Amino acid sequence: MYFINLADGATVESPVLVQFGLSGMGGAPAGVEKAKTGHHHLLIDAKAPAGEDLDYSLPADGNHKHFGGGQTEVSGTLTKGKHVL
C-alpha cells in the first residue's frame, strides 16, 4: 500500500485529499473473501500496530479511519492543524 499523491514525511493541512495505491493486490469491501484483496486503513497521528497488536482489529476512532467499502481515496478535514505523514 502506498499514497499516490502524498510523499512520505509530507506535512499536510485541511482539507486534504488522500489517494491510496496498491501493488500486487486489489481493493475490496470488508468481508469479501477473495485472495490478494483487502481494504485500507488510515492512521492519523497514531503508530502502526506491531507484534501481538497485529492479532487484533484496529479501533474505529478519530485516529484510525477504516475504508471498509473498498474506497481508494478520501477527502476531508483533519483535526488540529498540520499532520506529518
List Cβ neighbours of 7 (8 Å cut-off, separation of 6 or more).
85
Domain count of the fold of the chain:
1
Backbone dihedral angles phi then psi of residue 60, each to the nearest 5 degrees: -110, 100
Structural domain boundaries, residue 32: 2-84
The pLDDT value given to residue 82: 57
The pLDDT value given to residue 60: 86
Nearest Cα to 69, choosing from 44, 49, 46, 41? 41
The pLDDT value given to residue 69: 92
Q: What's the whole-number mean pLDDT along residues 25-32?
A: 91
Q: What's the whole-number mean pLDDT along residues 5-21?
A: 87
pLDDT in tens, 31-75: 999 999 989 988 888 888 999 998 988 898 888 888 999 999 998
The pLDDT value given to residue 50: 92
